[in-house]
Amino acid sequence: MLIGDIAADVHAARAAGAEGVLVPNTATRPEEIAAEAEPAHDVLSAVLRLLARPAPASRTHRRPA
């Protein structure tokens, strides 16, 4: 998971297959905030939102010995 303050942060997270949440601040352009479906109000809100989501399925598959 990644929490970023500009759209490029969130796009990079998603491109890498990670969850990304935008937390706007003075560096965030208004159009980036408007384009984001669920920007968080602050870092704590972003963390709580990410932790509340179900964990992704494991990508590690082990065969029985």
Choose between 56 and 25: higher pLDDT: 25
- Name residues whose C-beta falls within 8 Å of residue 24's C-beta, 6 or more positions apart in sequence: 5, 32, 33, 39
pLDDT tens by residue, 4-16: 999 999 999 999 9
- pLDDT for res 59: 65
Spatial contact of 40 and 57, defined as CB atoms under 8 Å apart = no
Choose between 60 and 17: higher pLDDT: 17
Spatial contact of 18 and 2, defined as CB atoms under 8 Å apart = yes
- Name residues whose C-beta falls within 8 Å of residue 12's C-beta, 6 or more positions apart in sequence: 2, 4, 20
